[in-house]
Homo-oligomer: A and B are copies of this chain.
Amino acid sequence: MEWTVKSRTLRSIWRTLVSMLTRKGVATRARILDAAGELIAQNGAAETSLDDVRVATGTSKSQLFHYFPEGKAQLLLAAAEEQARKVLDDQRPLLDHLDTWEAWHQWQQLILDMYAPKIEYCHLAALTSQFPKNDPQIGALISGLFGQWQERLAHGLGNMQARGLLDPNTDTERLAVAVLAAIQGGVAIGQATKSLTPLEIALQAALDHLHTHETVPA
């Protein structure tokens, strides 16, 4: 009992200080964010009106501005952050342990399986091609995503060097960028041609390129 009371009190303080959102509130906010992300991924940010979001979520204008007081720009940024987070999260935990060739090939397969159902509306394509690139905040977000992604890939490659699986003289950062570019390019071309094949090919070529620097542990 006392524990419950304490919990309630803390919760109250937390709400007051941090976000002032009740359980129902966060649910509604999440609903708006999800629908916005979906709509934007399909139709683009410019073609997605707040009314579209409103209808899709069964909410009202006032709620949109209640949860995103700065309006559409804030909603867009929040939706973009969500997409960026998903791009990396969808690859975990594999992404954080690319320490063996086996792991790389599992990851390759994961990427393909992940994007197979709807390459046109995948999180990466949505982020890089449906959001307004000119918004400096969104631009920074995308740039940051690529940075983190590259770091994860390079980190795995570094571990492989330590294990003697990869030529210690190769620049892991460069290799990571090459792999990243292959994915991004494959997705972009695949989005345009509505086909998964370009991504398959590009990713396979990138992996082949990695194997070029393979070594056997002593």
Contact = CB atoms under 8 A, between A and B. Distances in A.
Contacts of A128: 129, 188, 192
B129 A133 contact: yes
Given A177-B201, A182-B181, A212-B208, A132 B193 contact: no
Interface in A173-218: 174-175, 177-178, 180-186, 188-189, 191-194, 197-199, 201-202, 204-206, 208-209, 212
Interface of A: 42-47, 128-130, 132-134, 139, 142-143, 146-147, 174-175, 177-178, 180-186, 188-189, 191-194, 197-199, 201-202, 204-206, 208-209, 212
A181 B198 contact: yes
Given A43-B134, A184-B185, A186-B181, A146 B202 contact: no
B178 A182 contact: yes
A142 B190 CA distance: 11
A185 B181 contact: yes
B185 A202 contact: yes
Contacts of A182: 178, 181-182, 185, 202, 205
A201 B208 CA distance: 16
A44 B132 contact: yes
The 7 closest A-B pairs by CB, nearest first: A185-B185, A181-B185, A46-B46, A181-B202, A178-B205, A184-B185, A181-B186
A42 B174 CA distance: 29
15 contacts: A44-B46, A45-B46, A129-B129, A143-B194, A147-B193, A174-B201, A175-B205, A178-B202, A180-B185, A181-B181, A181-B188, A181-B199, A184-B185, A205-B209, A208-B209
B188 A202 contact: no
A185 to B, nearest CB: 3
